[in-house]
Amino acid sequence: MGPTKLLTMLSSPWPTIVATAVGAAAGLLLGVIEVHKSLSVTISAERVVLTSQDEQREFASNEIDQVLLASKQLILIDHNGQELTRQACDLKPRQLHSAFVQHGYSWTENAPDGTA
């Protein structure tokens, strides 16, 4: 007999309350873990800071020639056409585009040869 079946056999409301609380706590924990893993992007005219899983990478604006989003990956490209970084990114493309352009970065829809 499984735990769910056992809980339904008991007449007290406490098993249901405890099961609900455990399920809610597990869902909250999974949500916190996912937020922790997701990419945070801070953009200014001077720098771009990418934070994911307590790891922070900072790029000066003069290092970045182009920015693009390809296959849900944010890619920063230097003046030689080389990738500075490629990060999984679930942020909204239009908002990213707007933020980068507003701060003076060149947004491109096409990756230079060898970067996509």
Q: Are residues 90 and 45 in the same domain?
A: yes
C-alpha–C-alpha distance, residues 14 and 99, integer Å: 50
Q: Is 79 among the domain residues?
A: yes
Q: Are residues 86 and 60 in the same domain?
A: yes
Q: Are residues 90 and 57 in the same domain?
A: yes
Host domain of residue 60: 40-102
Q: Are residues 20 and 69 in the same domain?
A: no
Q: Is 113 among the domain residues?
A: no
Domain count, the chain: 2
The side-by-side arrangement of strands in the sheet containing 83-88 is 66-70, 73-77, 83-88
Confidence check: pLDDT of 36 > 50? no
Q: Are residues 50 and 97 in the same domain?
A: yes
Q: Please report the pLDDT score of residue 9 as a whole number.
A: 62
Nearby residues of 116 by Cβ (< 8 Å), 6 or more positions away? 70, 71, 75
Q: What is the pTM of this model?
A: 0.66
Q: Is 54 among the domain residues?
A: yes
Q: Are residues 59 and 12 in the same domain?
A: no
Give the pLDDT confidence of 49-93 residue by residue, as tens digits: 999 877 899 999 999 999 999 989 999 999 999 999 999 998 899
